[in-house]
Amino acid sequence: MLNETLRQEAAHQLLQAERIGKPLPRLSDTYPEMDIEDAYDVQLKVVAMKVEAGARVRGYKIGLTSKAMQDAVGISEPDFGHLFEDMFHADGARLSASRYHAPRLEVELAFVLNRRLKGPGVTVSDVLSATEHVVPALELIDSRTVLPRKFVDTLADNAASAGVVMGGRPVRPMDVDLRWLGAVVYKNAVIEDSGMSAAVLGHPANGVAWLANRLGERGVCLEPGQVLLGGSFTRPLAAAAGDIFHVDYGPLGGIAVGFTE
């Protein structure tokens, strides 16, 4: 476990790496004693510094929602990161690949709340009741440290979150069976992957319930208007300059995003 000085030092290093666009060495190498609670605290320190500088938190992302991914990194629950206002991009956006170190895209559903969720004890039913609508979303993930890396590296680094693209057709959570929403991912007009939303913890709202309860342990609530990415139901797909992605969500429409130099 790290002391307060080292946690603060790690947070400053991550923030500086993001600002200059150059990855730093793995935190797990620099601070081999770092554990999960250290990593969460480092993430929160980075968030606090950004907010102090004028950034606004718009929501959260939930990651590592499949058992296979959890087993791969040796954990038994998902993780979470923060979504800032400046991370959101319009459907059809063209993003500069040079802004990122190792950009990848994940296919998700975004929950937009219309009332507060406060853990502990939040259930899937509570999540559905508190959700204004669900909408297709793509999460852009990236790394502010060199790859490959350990779980604590990813967790401290805002759970790898780097951007969000939302589009398609919003639906009320009780108007469709959220377990059976599928997506087909096209990269440069070639099908690269597909998935079903039930792959996210059996029901994508389970991730939001977990998040509300996990944050509740820290005295934090999920607030009306916040956007919550429920977790990916496809594998991460690498993006580079010249790539164009189109994700078809069937009856919920589609999302497109491209990458320039």
Tens of pLDDT, residue by residue over 133-158, are 999 999 999 999 999 999 999 999 99
Q: State how far the Cα of 37 lies from the Cα of 19, in Å rounded to an integer.
A: 25
Q: What is the mean pLDDT of residues 35-60?
A: 97
Q: What is the mean pLDDT of residues 91-114?
A: 97
Domains and CATH numbers, the chain: 4-260 (3.90.850.10)
Q: State how far the Cα of 44 lies from the Cα of 200, in Å rounded to an integer.
A: 25
Other CB atoms within a 10 A radius of the CB of residue 33 amount to 10
Instruction: Record the pTM.
Output: 0.95
Supply the pLDDT for residue 39.
Answer: 97
Q: What is the mean pLDDT of residues 93-119?
A: 97
Tens of pLDDT, residue by residue over 152-173, are 999 999 999 999 999 999 999 9
Residue 51's pLDDT band (cuts 50, 70, 90): very high
Supply the pLDDT for residue 103.
Answer: 97
- Angle of helix 36-52 relative to helix 4-20, nearest 10 degrees? 60
